[in-house]
Each structure stands twice: as structure tokens, then as C-alpha cells.
Structure 1
Amino acid sequence: MEESKKYITTEELRKHNKRDDVWISINGKVYDVTNWLQKHPGGEELIMNLAGQDVTDAFIAFHPGTAWKYLDGFFTGFHLQDFRVSDVSKDYRRLASEFAKAGMFDKKGHFVFFSFLSIAVMFSMCIYGVIFSKDFWVHLLSGAVLGFAWVQVTFLGHDSGHYQIMSTRRFNKFAQILTGNCLTGISIAWWKWTHNAHHVAVNSLEHDPDLQHLPVFAVSSSFFNTLTSKFYGRKLDFDSLARFFVSYQHLTFYPIMIVARVNLYLQTILLLLNPSRKVPDRALNIIGILIYWTWFPLLVSFLPNWNERILFVLASFTVTAFQHIQFCLNHFAANVYVGNPQANDWFQSQTAGTIDITCSTWMDWVYGGLQFQLEHHLFPRMPRCHLRSISPVVQDLCKKHNLPYRSYGFYQANKKTIGVLRKAALQARDLSIVPQNLLWEAVNTHG
């Protein structure tokens, strides 16, 4: 029976990495997923980033056990001739199997209920403070409460995007549109599009959209060579404007984080109104965004004057800056690379590109579980209530295979992130690294 099998080599598999010819291997069996590409719930980019490779570990990370039965319809009849499983992958798959048998991917505890309850309380407090109080400080506090509610809503939307927080897929989709579009004004379709790509290509300067922030930020001098974003399909020009902003990015980081939501609003609108890009549930997403831009301006209009309205919005945005900063802390100071993600190095790439934040148990709610960033990246379908308990196991596995496990306190993580930004900023000013530009020289002062 073994002799009758048809085989192809890893090199032959790599040739099938075009959008009209997409093959992948899972557990050594080769599948043609070309026709599935546009139907994939996680988006095309997630598959294209790993096209032509064995993607077993990534498949295990993102799919429940029930997904395996659908693979037979894509089987090419070929097996991978030189298929090998590394020791670290064997251990990773063993852990994933043990967690699945223990029901850890299904047991969500009570955090979903308490999260919804806390969000409802915070929104109620904000609305009451704005409408029924005439005190300036109450209005300002209400803005801050709204900001913290948005933070918690975003964590819940993140959870619903990775696994079912509700009893059925239909209710889960409702939760996604509610938490993402209706309550925060940020499209769940946009989040899935970018976030899934980020997970697969974590800290690839060409493939990870979460690192592509030119002209405002550059975490590596590699951006000075004008890289091409494989995600957005355009060049990331390092022009005179980018050089100017990047040269001071360690000083502008926190102020920009305060208004970072504006960029998310803009990205949402650009995606939903782009007729050339396929957007799942586009109509539902647009309706949800319209609901947000109805209730939020209406709420702000109840404030007595424009000064208070601006300060209210600024207070809410300032609180949400904590979350934007947290996401940067998880990756900006980690290892980065240029090129395609390598599926065979799944565990290694996740450890290289992520940083945990050390905190007390009572702070888990504040961080939304994402202080355990490596644990989340390794097991994205795992509910956040289990991430702290599996952390020691992940640490042991990293130690066993001599892989980095980085976990810093909030202050130290900020210090390292600012250090990375400052290093790139000083490099951007160095004419021996970046070609001289007369326009930049005319407006820049060397500090």
C-alpha cells in the first residue's frame, strides 16, 4: 500500500504558491486549496502567506478538530516525500492535543457574561453622566469610562473573532458586529482581515500589517530601503516625510497612541467602501458602522458646549491609548525579519515575534488576557481564562528547546519599546544609513 502512494518533494510543493495555483501540505498530505482561497473564513492572505508549505502547526492552531474532515475534498492524491516533524513541533502538537482533550478550547468560564455585564454597566454610567449631570468633571469622567468600556468591548470582539463566545455561529456573528461595528465603530471584517494575517506572519516587515505604520513609525532600519507590503500590495515609501516623522518617533509615540483610533476608523471606512475588495457580510458591517456613527455623535451632542464635547472625546481616546500601547508592547521590541513566514517554524516564529507582559492575576481583566501574548499566538482558539494556567507549560517548552520566552513588567516593556523606536529614529537621522534628502535636511534639526 505504501508503494502505491504518489509523492512530491518540498521543492515541488513550493512551486504551487500562486493565487491561481495554491497547494499546501498538512501532516504530509498535499491539498489543492485554490478554489477555497476566496471562501476561506480567515481571509485569502492567511493561506497565501503559507502557500506551498507544510502548514500542519498553523492548521492545528486555527482550526477545531471538526475541520479535519473537510480536508479530504481538497486532497490531490500526493504525499510529501521528505515530510519531517521537528521535535519542537511534536511537543507543540502534543500540547494542543492534551488541551483539546481537557476541553480547554471549549470551556470559557464565566468571563463572557461578566464582560458583557461590566460593559453594560460602564455604558450606562457614561450615558447617565452625560445626560443627567451638568458637572464638567462628571462629563470628563464619563468620557474616560466610555474609553475603558471601548477597551473591554474590543477584547470581547477579539475573543469572538478567534472562537465562539456565544452558543451558536449566528449568535457569535451577532456578537462580533455588536462589539466591533456597533459599539466601537471599528469593522470586525477589517479586524479579521488584518489580525489573521498578523498571526500567521507575526513580525514580518513585509507581511505583518501590524508593523507597517509608515510614515509615522518604523521599528527597523530595514524600512529605510522602501519595502513592499505584501499585505497591502503597495510600496512602503521611506520618503522625506517618513524620515522626518520616524526621526522623532520615540517622542511622538504616546501622543499618537491617543489619537490612534482615528486611523482605525479610517481603515474601516476604506475597506468597507472599496468595491474591488471582497468583504464578508459587507452590508451588516456597514449597518453596524452607521449605528455607531448615529449613537456616538448623538451622545456627544448632549454635552453643553464644544469645549466639553472635544474634551469628552479626547478623554475617551486617551483611555483607549492604553490598549493601543499594549498591542505595540507585545511586538515592537521583539525580533523582526524580512521575507515570507515559514510554516515549518511555527512555534519558533511565534516565540521570536511576541512579548508577554507580567502582571498580577487581578490585572488579567484589564489586559484582556493578551498580556499572555505568546500563549495566545500559539493557541489562538483558547479562551483567555486559561492562558495564565498554560503559561508555565509554554515556558517549560521554550526552555526545553532553547527558545526565548520574554515577559516584562509594563514599565520595562514600555522602556524596551521606546528603546527600539529611539534606535530606529537615530538611524533615520544618520546620512550614512539613509541617503541624504535636501527637503528633509531643510526642515529637520539634529537633536
Structure 2
Amino acid sequence: MEGEIEKKSQQEQEQEQKQKKQYITQEELSLHNKAGDLWISIQGKVYNVTDWAKDHPGGDVPILSLAGQDVTDAFIAYHPGTAWSYLDKFFTGYHLKDFEVSEVSRDYRNLASLFSKHGLFDNKQHVTSFTFLSVSLMFLLVVYGVLWCDSVWAHLGSGMLLGLLWMQSAYVGHDSGHYVVMTNKGFNKLAQIVSGNCLTGISIAWWKWTHNAHHIACNSLDHDPDLQHMPVFAVSSRFFNTITSRFYGRELKFDSFARFLISYQHWTFYPVMCIARLNLYVQTFLLLFSTKRRVPDRALNIIGILVFWTWFPLLVSCLPNCGERIMFVLASFVVCSIQHIQFCLNHFAANVYVGKPSGNDWFEKQTSGTLDISCATWMDWFFGGLQFQLEHHLFPRLPRCQLRRISPLVQDLCKKHNLPYRSLSFWEANQWTIRTLRKAALQARDLTNPAPQNLLWEAVNTHG
């Protein structure tokens, strides 16, 4: 009898608490989606993250892109379990009245929970240590080839090896930006600066700024900076209507100059990729010395860049003549271009859309905008695990050594919900990409679609 009374009392208390809850609708939540008024919902609880946006470790772009929505799936994808404890201080007291979880989201969350339960997010298998060891060995061989070898072939080989070094070092920078690859966050930040700024000359701050936006708004023409290559490339004819980049805050104008370049983009794609690093260097300097943007660890990033622009020119200057210096630099650029091409293959030929990303269709958006590249297991080191691009986009905190392991589970989930899972060979992915570029190029040549006035400024301020 007493047990029944206690049970009834507990039920009454729960009912009273439920009645005391304050609710808002999805429509009301969507009104809080602008700078200075940023609300989000996670598992039906509403949080005010307006003041937090500027201090968010992932930058303010993800919050600005997803504000006014339920962002549970994106939060789970990007944050470890310890992050949940920080949410309480942002709680508004409101719950989402019409909160529902789709079957796809439910399965995705169960899969993430399963991976966490089996420790996959923490099992990194010393990949970073082995990669850093190989990068160090390659660096010593490059220096030896330049300083102590007289053969032009040795100098050419050293340049090619440097390109491979840049690729592997960039993978370490990428991994350390997504999860802690070292023993603590301090060493992790050091790994980022060394692998990114010091060894490759590309700022980890710039990479985080653009890369987080890319993940959140995968293949959105106006929100994903990794598709905004006007006036050099356009993966869709929708760019011909002059899209406004919500990331860069400017119009991507399709003028006569852009029409000319895009008309031949399927021919210029590989040559441009060979010198794409020049643009990355420019973007690094534009961000680090910008007075308009707040750059985390700006001084540390600048010091790292200065380290690169000290050793790299000095090494090149040690070559015997101008011809060999040009050959060395071009060889390193061409080899490293394989990585730039790979990243384009993962997305250029996938589906695109216009508009803000949606927080409640995380799984669907990632499958729509991503292609995998199939390869043998022994090639995982060469592609940095990122040939499993869909798996990485769905679970960005998952160490690269686990991506091949979870691939069959992701395939099964895609099949269950009738979503695309596209895994192509490197050759097929190139074919798909060139076909996409050619289609847009032929559409750009259509003279019945008049281009606006030519703005040369666009040509020298290309982003991405």
C-alpha cells in the first residue's frame, strides 16, 4: 500500500514538472537565427548561445549557420560526451513543443552511441606518432638530397618527396583539428601548428575557419566555402545567377571574365590544381593579417608561418641554379596537388543545394554531398583515411584508423533508408568530376545567357 502511494506521488510530481515546463514552437525558435540573437535546440531543450558564439572553439560560423534549429545530430557529431555538461548554463528554460526525431536521426544517434560504447572515438592506434615519424624522416631525406647531392635527379626526387611530406603533414593537421591526437590539448595545439603552419605554410586557423563551415554546410553553394571557386571553377550552373557567399559575405559574380574561365574549366582543372597551394598561402596571409576577423591564437599562427617562410626559401636557395629551383618547387607542388584533387573528387560531382544547412537532416545532407574513393587497405596512409569521406563527415571525431572499420555499418544504414552511398575508384571519381565540370563549362558557353559586367577584382580575390 505504501509502495503504491509513493509510486502515485512520484507520478504526480513528474506530471507537475511537465506542466511547469515552458514550450516554444519550431517556428518561434527559427526567429532566433541572426547575429546577436542565436538560439538552438538540442534534444528538445532550447539554449541561448548568442554570447558563446564568439568563444566557440569551432568558430562562430557553425552556430550562425544552424541557429534557429534543432542541432542535435550536428552536436553529437562534433562534440565529445564531456561537452554536454557545458550546456546547462545556456539553457533558456524552454523546451521545443513540436520536437520529433526522425527514424534516420534515431539510427544515426544509436550508431554514434555504439561507437562510443566500444571506445572507437578514443582508439587512435598511434597513427599520429607514426605519421610524424615518417614526416620527420622525409624531411631529413629532402634536406640531404638538396644539400649533399649534386644530381639533378636527386633534387627532383627531393622536390617530389617534399610534396608527399606536405600531404602527410596536412593529414596530421586535419586530424588534430577534429579531435585530440596527442596526450592533451596543449600538445594537440602544438601538433596543429607544427604540422600545419611550420611544415606546410598553411595556417591551422584558416583551415579551421573554412573546414568547419564546409562540414556543417556540406555542398551548399552559398554556405560551403569549398565550392566557392568563382571565377575559376563552377560545379553548377546555379552559380551563373550570381550567388551571394554567406561565408565570405560577398557576391560571386558571373561576369564575362568568369564565363571565359569556366568555359574551359574541364581543361584547366588539373593545371590549376598543380599551383593551388599559392592560393592557400594567400588566403592564410589574408586571414592572419585581417583586422576585421577575430583569429584564435593569431600570434602563434603567425610565428608558425614565419618558420615555414624561413626554412623553405632557404632550402630552395641552396639548389645550384634558378632552373633547378623552379623544378624543385614545381615538383613539390605537383605531387601535393594529388591531395587537392582528392578533396575535390570527394564533393565536386556530388549533389549540391542552395540555402542554409538544416540541423535535423544531418545524415541525409552528408550522404547527398559526399563521395568515397575506394582503394586497397595499404593505400589508407596515402589518402589519410579521407577516402572514406562520408564516414568522416558523419563522424568527424572518429580517428582515421576506424573509418574503414565502420564503413559497412554506414553502408547498411544508407541502404536501410534508401540514401546514396557512392564509392568510386580514383579513376572513376576523376571521370565524374571532369564530367561535372564539363557540363557546367558547356552551359557557361551558352551566349543566350548574357553575363554581367566584368569585375577584374573577382579574378585576384578568389577564395577556396
Which band: TM-score by shorter chain?
Answer: over 0.9
* Per-residue Cα deviation, 1:132-171 (whole angstroms, up to 9, x for no partner): 0111010010000000000000011000000001001000
3-state SS of 1:76 partner: strand
- How far 1:314 sits from its partner (Å)? 0.1
Q: Of 450, 458, 462, which aligns to 1:435?
A: 450
Q: Using the alignment, how far apart are the partners of 2:206 and 2:122 within structure 1?
A: 26
Q: Using the alignment, how far apart are the partners of 1:228 and 1:91 within structure 2?
A: 35
| Percentage of identical aligned residues | 69
Match of 2:164? 148
- Establish whether residue 292 from structure 1 lines up as the match of residue 308 from structure 2: yes
> Residues 409 and 161 from structure 1, CA distance in 2 versus in 1: closer, same or farther, beyond 3 angstroms?
same
Q: Using the alignment, how far apart are the partners of 1:177 and 1:41 within structure 2?
A: 16
- How far 1:360 sits from its partner (Å)? 0.4
Q: Using the alignment, how far apart are the partners of 2:88 and 2:59 within structure 1?
A: 21
Match of 1:266? 282
In the alignment, is the contact (CA less than 8 A) between 2:230 and 2:253 conserved in 1? yes
- Establish whether residue 402 from structure 1 lines up as the match of residue 418 from structure 2: yes
- How far 1:437 sits from its partner (Å)? 6.7
- Establish whether residue 55 from structure 1 lines up as the match of residue 71 from structure 2: yes
Match of 2:106? 90
Q: How does 1:38-187 map to 2 (within 5 A)?
A: 38-187=54-203
* Higher Cα Rg, which structure: 2
3-state SS of 1:300 partner: helix
Structure 2: gaps of 5 or more residues: 1-16, 456-464
- The list of structure 1 runs, each at least 4 consecutive aligned residues, that deviate by more than 2 angstroms after superposition, is 436-440
| AA matched with 1:112 | T
* Per-residue Cα deviation, 1:23-82 (whole angstroms, up to 9, x for no partner): 000000000000001000101111111000000000000000000000000000000000
| AA matched with 2:417 | H
- Establish whether residue 192 from structure 1 lines up as the match of residue 208 from structure 2: yes
Match of 1:208? 224
3-state SS of 1:7 partner: strand
3-state SS of 2:51 partner: helix
* Per-residue Cα deviation, 1:197-250 (whole angstroms, up to 9, x for no partner): 000000000000000000100000000011000000000011111111000000
> Residues 118 and 88 from structure 1, CA distance in 2 versus in 1: closer, same or farther, beyond 3 angstroms?
same
Q: Using the alignment, how far apart are the partners of 1:439 and 1:176 within structure 2?
A: 40
Q: How does 1:187-336 map to 2 (within 5 A)?
A: 187-336=203-352
> Residues 70 and 256 from structure 1, CA distance in 2 versus in 1: closer, same or farther, beyond 3 angstroms?
same
* Per-residue Cα deviation, 1:69-97 (whole angstroms, up to 9, x for no partner): 00000000000000000000000000000
- How far 1:431 sits from its partner (Å)? 2.2
Match of 1:423? 439
| AA matched with 2:143 | I
Match of 1:443? none
- How far 1:276 sits from its partner (Å)? 1.2
| AA matched with 2:321 | N
In the alignment, is the contact (CA less than 8 A) between 2:254 and 2:451 conserved in 1? no
3-state SS of 1:399 partner: helix
- How far 1:439 sits from its partner (Å)? 7.9
Q: Using the alignment, how far apart are the partners of 2:310 and 2:73 within structure 1?
A: 43
- How far 1:108 sits from its partner (Å)? 0.2
How many residue pairs align between the two structures? 439
Structure 1: gaps of 5 or more residues: 441-447
Q: How does 1:355-434 map to 2 (within 5 A)?
A: 355-432=371-448, 434=449
Match of 1:444? none
Q: Using the alignment, how far apart are the partners of 2:149 and 2:426 within structure 1?
A: 35
3-state SS of 2:234 partner: coil
* RMSD value, Cα: 1.0
In the alignment, is the contact (CA less than 8 A) between 2:255 and 2:451 conserved in 1? no
TM-score of the superposition, structure 1-length normalised? Answer: 0.97
In the alignment, is the contact (CA less than 8 A) between 2:160 and 2:332 conserved in 1? yes
| AA matched with 2:234 | A
- How far 1:275 sits from its partner (Å)? 1.0
- How far 1:438 sits from its partner (Å)? 9.3
